[in-house]
Structure 1
Amino acid sequence: MVSTRNHPSTFPPPEASPTKSPRKSRTSTPVPTASASSPSRASPSVVVGSVRERVVDTAQGALGNVQNGYTAISGDGGRGSGGWSHTASNVTLAWIAVSIPLVIWDSLYILLRPHTMAGGFLQWPLWKPYEIYAAIDYVYGQPGWDLKDGFGGGQGAVNVIEVILYGLYIMIVYNHGVKAAGGSGVQIGSGVKGWASGGVRVKGSKGNTALIIGFTASVMTLSKTVLYYLVEYYAGFKNTAHNDWFTLFLFYGVMNGLWVIFPAYMTITFGSDILAGLDAAVHEEKKQN
Structure 2
Amino acid sequence: MAVKTHTWISLWFLLTAPVIAWDVGYCFMRPRSMKGGDLHWIWAPYALYQEVDLIYGLPALQSGDGFTNAQSLLNVIETLMNLAYLYLAHVVKWPPATIVGFAAAVMTLSKTVLYWAQEYYCGYCAVGHNSAWDLVTLWIIPNGLWIVVPTFIMIQLGKDLVESLNFASEKSAKVASGKTQ
Q: State the alpha-carbon separation in 1 of the partners of residues 167 and 7 from structure 2.
A: 25
Q: State the alpha-carbon separation in 2 of the partners of residues 231 and 254 from structure 1.
A: 17
**What letter corresponds to residue 159 of structure 1 in structure 2?**
N
Which of structures 1 and 2 has the bigger CA Rg? 1
Aligned to 1:133: 49
Aligned to 2:82: 166
* 1:94-109 superposed matches below 5 A: 94-109=11-26
Aligned to 1:118: 35
Aligned to 1:276: 163
Give the secondary-structure state (helix, strand or coil) at the position aligned to 1:85.
coil
Q: State the alpha-carbon separation in 1 of the partners of residues 158 and 90 from structure 2.
A: 21
Q: Out of 94-103 and 231-240, give the one that drifted further.
A: 94-103
1:71-114 per-residue CA deviation (whole Å, 9 max, x = no partner) reads xxxxxxxxxxxxx1222211112212221110000011111111
1:162 Cα offset (Å): 1.1
1:175 Cα offset (Å): 1.9
Q: Is the 8 A contact 1:86 1:273 kept in 2?
A: no
- 1:207 maps onto 2:105 in alignment: no
Aligned to 2:107: 220
Q: Is the 8 A contact 2:50 2:57 kept in 1?
A: yes
Aligned to 1:240: 127
Aligned to 1:286: 173
Greater helix proportion: 2
Moved over 3 A (4+): none
Q: State the alpha-carbon separation in 1 of the partners of residues 172 and 11 from structure 2.
A: 37
Q: Is the 8 A contact 1:222 1:263 kept in 2?
A: yes
Give the secondary-structure state (helix, strand or coil) at the position aligned to 2:3.
strand
What RMSD over aligned residues (CA atoms) do the two structures have, in Å?
1.3
Q: Is the 8 A contact 2:89 2:98 kept in 1?
A: no
Task: Report the count of equivalent residues.
Answer: 176
Q: State the alpha-carbon separation in 1 of the partners of residues 54 and 163 from structure 2.
A: 44
1:117 Cα offset (Å): 0.9
Give TM-score scaled by structure 1 length: 0.59
1:286 Cα offset (Å): 2.3
Aligned to 2:71: 155
1:240 Cα offset (Å): 0.8
**What letter corresponds to residue 110 of structure 1 in structure 2?**
C
**Alignment match of 2:7 (pick from 77, 86, 90):** 90
1:276 Cα offset (Å): 1.5
Structure 1 alignment gaps of length 5 or more:
1-83, 177-201
